[in-house]
Structure 1
Amino acid sequence: MAEFSVSDIAAALGAEASGAVDILLCGVAEPASAQATDLALAMKPEYAVGLKAGRARVAMIAPGMDWQDMGLEAAIIAPRPRYAMAGLTSMMDRGPIIEPGHHPTSVIHDSAQIAEGAAIGPFVVIGPGAVIGARARIASHVSIGAGAVIGDDALIHEGVRICHGVHIGDRFIAQPGVVLGGDGFSFVTPEKSMVEKARESLGTATDTATEQSWARIHSLGGLVIGDDVEVGANSAIDRGTIESSQIGNGTKIDNLVHIGHNCIIGKDCLICGQVGFAGSVTMGDRVVLGGKCGVSDNITIGNDVVAAGASKLFTNVPSGRMIMGHPAVKMDTHVEMYKALRRLPRLARTVSDLQKAVSKPDKTP
């Protein structure tokens, strides 16, 4: 198990170290459960209370906190503790253990190109013409289709499915069960379906339905994923119909997210759990979508948009807007709408009283 001195950790995080900076640490823990070789995470005074129950000698704290008063031998003072957590957990994370080289149960096509330092686990299948970058780590039961390209330093967890022709950049992380490059959900009828009629008439069409079957529109495009992208467990991103679907550099996608065919997602976006995109959505950079947001097809979302959890986006959203609700509107507007909704029972009683007063004026007190 790797050990790090207090001074080395502080230097790596750009933080200040105080006290016995030569103490060696090999893990991190909550204050109450920390052992002597753990770095306790006591970044707020209320967290530091737990230090009395643990055995920590060193803690990471926020500026202004008195580590000596906490009974510690040393401390790492981080100006932005939560940001320091990113670097700290990266140092301490050993990741899955995948033996270097190719496991004997893996099946790798002769035409596949495997770069130096790649580690390929048990029961991995790599198709013809696939390219695996340097130092990529591929856990068990992963399948990589023909012509797929995976960049350097990728980490592909168990059970991931990367379909044919998918192109992925460097430092990609896929959590278990991810499916990349499946066909889009695209079907059409010989004549206008009731769905098309409803959209055209906004539900007022009176035409009767005709018996007809759905014809499949095949997905001939690909899926292109940039550098430093992460995709959470059991998420699925579809390939394009003609052109490729795209995920921009640095975008992070949570568990159980679905991104439909022909979507173009910008850089450094944050897409939280259970978000669903219909097809052909164009989304800008640095967009944040809270959990369970739904995005309608063929709309455009600008840069730096923030959507609160469970918002439903049915129309275009301009850059920089913060939205909320079903349908999504500006946050301040939604708050006013919600206040008005809560007043409805009282308003209904007032209207009822006024109706009675108007209809029976002789009984009005």
Structure 2
Amino acid sequence: MFTLNQIAEALGRPVVGDGTATFARASEPDSAGPDDLALAMSPSYADALKSGKARVAILWDGADWESFGLSGAVLVPRARLAMAGISAALDAGPQMNIGVHPTVIIGDGAEIADGVSIGPYSVIGAGVRIGRGARIAAHVTMAEHATLGGDALLMQGVRIGSYVTIGDRFIAQPGAVIGGDGFSFVTPEESGVERARKTLGDQGDIRAQSWTRIHSLGSVTIGDDVEVGANTTIDKGTIADTRVGRGTKIDNLVHIGHNNRIGEDCLICGQVGMAGGSRVGDRVVLGGQCGVNDNISIGNDVVAGGATKIFTRVRDGEVILGSPAVKMETNMAMYKALRRLPRALEQLAELRKIVTIKVQGSRHDD
């Protein structure tokens, strides 16, 4: 059980009413029972809160909490920020016992700090270093000489490649793969795709060609407080490391190719794909299904709307949308014009008919 005082302390907000009132879980307001904390952080939830049976609630700033028959409440000015504090306070996280499960395989020279948890059937390679308080779930592999910082969390089935370096408080959701080889191949002679790129479409003489692998001699370096979603992949660099800066958050099913450099406090949403060798500044937001071309630069504080395809350099602070990416207001103007196009073509056809009739009538008069 939790008390309202505990939640208020986590949010840094005062309690109104009885702070010692207890609850077991958070709930939507209309389905909340006497043992639930109702989350009604907008006036639009007022009716739902009245239909529920909650005794305690988180309400919007300025709410008349007593009118809802509550024993106590916490009033918050910013709902989404409050959700971060509430969810952190109520989430106990995965249950892992400190220590190494007997089924774990540990390679020679691995260094495991105090307070580490390693779950069943995980494999820790030779020379791996794991920081204090790190938690590693079942079926995780860390290849040789990888480093994992303190208080990190690797969920089930995470794969960490050789020589990968990861900072403190890192979180990887199930199935993430960090440190696979980059997708780098070359042909002995200039390939059709190289010629097509130079000419914007002409492959020249088409002939048989085979691909020779370029190995990844670099690895991956990840800063502190980074999170990586389920089934996301981050490839090694060819020579230098692929890098992800401090505080960046990466969603599920994201692919970050070799040699990319991603700055601090970025937000990279689901199904984003980044080809190799690009540089992304700090505080960049890439919406779901964005694509980033190889060897370009994206400045600081850029926001790219969902499904944007970025083929060229983006300057600091730009807000972009579309394929190819343009400024968002330009994209919206183009979209509005496109929606008007069918009607404009109908009007053009009508005008052509009128002109044709007038021209034919003029000829008949002559």
| TM band (smaller chain) | over 0.9
Where does residue 82 of structure 1 map in the other structure?
80
1:18 aligned to 10, 13, 16, which one?
16
Where does residue 47 of structure 1 map in the other structure?
45
3-state SS, counterpart of residue 196 of structure 2: helix
8 Å Cα contact 2:41-2:58 kept in structure 1: yes
Q: Which runs of 5+ in 1 are unaligned?
A: none
3-state SS, counterpart of residue 68 of structure 1: helix
Where does residue 277 of structure 1 map in the other structure?
274
2:257 aligned to 255, 260, 266, which one?
260
Where does residue 346 of structure 2 map in the other structure?
349
Q: In the alignment, is residue 133 of structure 1 matched against residue 131 of structure 2?
A: yes
| Displacement after TM superposition at 1:54 (Å) | 3.1
- The amino acid of 1:138's aligned partner reads I
Distance in 2, Cα, partners of 1:364 & 1:330:
49
Where does residue 298 of structure 1 map in the other structure?
295
Where does residue 166 of structure 1 map in the other structure?
164
8 Å Cα contact 1:15-1:79 kept in structure 2: no
3-state SS, counterpart of residue 61 of structure 1: strand
Q: Deviations over 1:52-106 (max 9, x none)?
A: 4433111001112111111111001112221021111111111111121011111
Where does residue 216 of structure 2 map in the other structure?
219
Distance in 2, Cα, partners of 1:61 & 1:235:
36
Distance in 1, Cα, partners of 2:108 & 2:219:
23
3-state SS, counterpart of residue 109 of structure 2: coil
**Residue-pair matches, total:** 362
Distance in 2, Cα, partners of 1:49 & 1:151:
47
Q: In the alignment, is residue 116 of structure 1 matched against residue 133 of structure 2?
A: no
1:338 aligned to 322, 328, 335, which one?
335
Distance in 1, Cα, partners of 2:351 & 2:47:
59
| Displacement after TM superposition at 1:340 (Å) | 1.0
Q: Which moved more, 1:239-248 or 1:53-62?
A: 53-62
Same amino acid, percent of matched pairs? 57
Q: Which runs of 5+ in 2 are unaligned?
A: none
Q: In the alignment, is residue 185 of structure 1 matched against residue 173 of structure 2?
A: no
Q: In the alignment, is residue 149 of structure 1 matched against residue 147 of structure 2?
A: yes
8 Å Cα contact 2:42-2:79 kept in structure 1: no
TM-score (norm 1): 0.96
| Displacement after TM superposition at 1:364 (Å) | 6.2
- The amino acid of 1:310's aligned partner reads A
1:245 aligned to 228, 242, 245, which one?
242
| Displacement after TM superposition at 1:363 (Å) | 3.8
- The amino acid of 2:254's aligned partner reads V
3-state SS, counterpart of residue 81 of structure 2: helix
- The amino acid of 2:206's aligned partner reads A
Distance in 1, Cα, partners of 2:156 & 2:169:
17
8 Å Cα contact 1:124-1:140 kept in structure 2: yes
Q: Deviations over 1:253-297 (max 9, x none)?
A: 001000000000000000111110011110000001111111111
1:306-345 to structure 2, matched below 5 A, reads 306-345=303-342
Superposition RMSD in Å: 1.5
- The amino acid of 1:21's aligned partner reads G
TM-score (norm 2): 0.95
Question: CA separation of 1:364/1:304 partners in 2, compared to 1, >3 Å: closer, same or farther?
Answer: farther
Distance in 2, Cα, partners of 1:164 & 1:302:
30
- The amino acid of 1:156's aligned partner reads L
Distance in 1, Cα, partners of 2:165 & 2:33:
44
3-state SS, counterpart of residue 224 of structure 1: strand
- The amino acid of 2:253's aligned partner reads L
